[in-house]
């Protein structure tokens, strides 16, 4: 039986980056909610960058680990972290503050991708190929998380704007979110939808690639 150490190393590295990026995404939701007056995430110990506070052992560990090992083959699976719960009645500006909390998760992924791009600039100038590859991985994972989470499909972050902008009740949204994960799992295994995601991902990468070119 062949044992590809390079593949194992790359899979482990990707797994670590995914876990940390998912955790930082949820930290973004928690810290913004806390700053806007809702102490619910703090009472649940979520206003921290420590990954264990945000890890869901199935969605954050098992699924990404199996995926990194190629366990699912061509079948795409979804990873997730422990969701951050908020109390909307604690927000002074109602749905405006809720929207800020919602966008904070993808916003953190954007910031991480931006920082990794700047790190890549330094690595390119130092001619450190291994470091360039690492930062490229961080950019790819975080841009992917940002794009995916902004899709308007419950329970993803982008879908919550259906409530904020179109007056959807929380009860109706919860009903949709109940089935949303199954819908997502089905969609990401449809070739046409995966091609659509690839187009969105490549489009979202354009500003980061442009920044890299400009600065190097």
Supply the residues annotated as catalytic: 26
DSSP state of 53: G
Which residue, 169, 28, 156, 206, is CA-closest to 101? 28
What's the token pair of residue 124?
């390119």
Closest CA to 59 of 78, 76, 46, 45: 78
Cis-peptide into 155, omega within 30 deg: yes
Write down the residue that tokens 């110990």 correspond to: 45
Supply 207's token pair.
């500003």
Residues 6+ apart with CB under 8 A from 99: 160, 161, 164
Which residue is listed with tokens 């009903």?
175
Which of 39, 162, 52, 38 is closest to 88 using CA atoms?
Answer: 38
């Amino acid at each position: 039986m062949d044992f590809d150490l390079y593949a194992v190393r790359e899979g482990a590295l990707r797994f670590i980056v995914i876990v940390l990026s998912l955790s930082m995404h949820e930290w973004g939701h928690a810290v913004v909610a806390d700053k806007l007056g809702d102490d619910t995430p703090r009472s649940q110990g979520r206003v921290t960058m420590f990954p264990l506070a945000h890890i869901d052992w199935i969605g954050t560990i098992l699924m990404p680990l199996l995926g990194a090992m190629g366990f699912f083959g061509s079948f795409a699976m979804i990873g997730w972290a422990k969701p951050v719960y908020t109390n909307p009645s604690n927000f002074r500006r109602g749905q405006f503050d809720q929207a800020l909390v919602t966008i904070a998760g993808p916003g953190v992924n954007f910031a991480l991708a931006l920082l990794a791009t700047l790190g890549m600039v330094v690595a390119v100038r130092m001619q450190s190929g291994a470091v360039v590859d690492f930062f490229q991985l961080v950019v790819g994972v975080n841009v992917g998380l940002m794009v995916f989470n902004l899709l308007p499909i419950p329970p993803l972050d982008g879908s919550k704007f259906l409530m904020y902008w179109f007056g959807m009740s929380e009860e109706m949204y919860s009903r949709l979110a109940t089935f949303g994960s199954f819908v997502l799992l089905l969609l990401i295994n449809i070739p046409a939808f995966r091609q659509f995601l690839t187009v969105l991902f490549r489009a979202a990468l354009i500003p980061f690639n442009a920044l890299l070119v400009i600065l190097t």
